[in-house]
Structure 1
């Protein structure tokens, strides 16, 4: 039985990922500031704010002390706010960077200490196709997701051959975060621009994380895996509502 930590696993991609590992018999711990809305069979929730470096370190150490090892850590916790660059505030930007980028860095760093001592482990994270291209109204979010891919490559170089890393860059996924930010008209517009004709389900992204943590992926490290239904294949997808803006 592997010991698995998934951050931000109370909803969306994180929840689906935690439940996928739990179904295989793994011992799964969910680091999230919010409890899951409904019970998660086989998944234990710990209240952890990934932006709090001290709290992350304490939580990772607690899991390791209890279980004796860490096998897989999925840094999934993330937030986004739709806003233009001219309206972006320092507080909003720092919050997103603290959670989406520094939260991944800290969780991976703490887990890596234990994994290097045991000479094996897998570090995974949720990036985004937004980190691969320009996308309006999400400047801070886009930058953090590009940063996650850079962390993935750097950790791979420093921790190989004992610890593997990979990040998954989803395209449009029908998560509570997506539904909160987009109207139905916007969702329909995005679907028309995706070759697959739809958003992904969180469970489809979870399956990629499960594969990356499996022996079948043991020769993969430092890689960013795009799961987007062909959205970025032809560089034809444009964002919703990209009309010109002026600084007045």
Structure 2
């Protein structure tokens, strides 16, 4: 049994990932401001905001003290606010950066301190294809996701060979929140821009995390795993970003 801490695991990709690890017999902790819609056996909710470094440290300390170790940390919590670069406010930008980028740093740093002391562990995070190409109306979000990939490489270099580090960059993922924002025509239009012809399911992203945390991925560190149905293989990314409906949550 591994001890796993995931941020933002009350819904979407995080919830699917928590369920995947818990289903394999791991003890999972979910650090999230919101409670999960449905309780999952083997998953304990820890209410907290990843933008608050003291809260993050307390959550990591609690998990480590209860079990004497921390095997896997997945920094998944993220937010997005659709706005034009000339219209966004400093408060909105700071909130996106605090949650999406600095929240990853805080969680990884707190987790890494325990992992280095115990002699091993795995740090993972949710980046995005948004970090590879321009997506209109998500400048701050895009920058934070590119930043996660940079953090991944740097943490890996500084913590190897004791701690492995990797990130997953999903493309369009059909979470319940995303589906609620689509009309059938909008969903079809976005799918048409993805070479695979569809969105990913959250469980497909969860499977990637499960693999990266496993012994089979023991030689992988400092890497970004893109799961996007071919979205950034061609020139569809910017067009897709412009077509994302108002208020959509991206990864």
TM over 0.5: yes
Q: Which residue of 2 aligns with 1:246?
A: none
Question: What pairs up with 1:45-84 in 2 under 5 angstroms?
Answer: 45-84=45-84
| Matched residue, 2:215 | 215
Counterpart in the other structure of 1:100: 100
For normalisation by structure 1, the TM-score amounts to 0.94
- Per-residue CA deviations over 1:112-150 (Å, capped at 9, x if unaligned) read 000000110000000000001111010010000000000
Give 1:38's aligned residue: 38
SS at 2:108's partner residue?
Answer: helix
Distance 1:50 1:218 in 2: 28
Distance 1:213 1:37, change over 3 A: same
1:17 equivalenced with 2:38 (yes/no): no
In 1, are the aligned partners of 2:193 and 2:240 still within 8 Å (CA)? no
TM-score by length of 2: 0.93
TM-align CA RMSD: 1.5
> Does the CA contact (< 8 Å) of 2:71 and 2:120 recur in 1?
yes
Residue 86 of structure 1: CA displacement? 1.4
In 1: Cα distance, 2:228 partner to 2:215 partner: 24
What is the aligned residue count?
A: 243
* Distance change in 2, residues 1:242/1:79 (3 Å): closer
**Aligned-pair distance for 1:237?**
3.6
d(CA) in 1 for partners of 2:128 and 2:237?
15
Asked if structure 1 preserves the Cα contact closer than 8 Å seen for 2:70 and 2:121, the reply is: yes
Report if aligned partners of 2:134, 2:237 keep a CA contact under 8 Å in 1: no
Partner of 1:228: 228
Q: Distance in 1 between matches of 2:180 and 2:141?
A: 16
Deviation at 1:233, TM superposition (A): 1.1
Give the corresponding residue for 1:111: 111
Deviations 1:152-176 (A, max 9, x none): 0000000000000000000000124
Residues 45-70 of structure 1, C-alpha deviations (whole Å, 9 max, x = no match) = 01011000001001100100001000
Runs of 5+ consecutive residues of structure 1 not aligned to the other structure = 244-248
Displacement after TM superposition at 1:240 (Å): 4.5
SS of residue in 1 equivalent to 2:198:
coil
Distance 1:158 1:237 in 2: 32
Runs of 5+ unmatched residues, structure 2: 244-251
> Hey, what's the Cα distance between the residues in 1 that align with 2:52 and 2:167?
22
Alpha-carbon shift at residue 180 of structure 1 (Å): 5.6
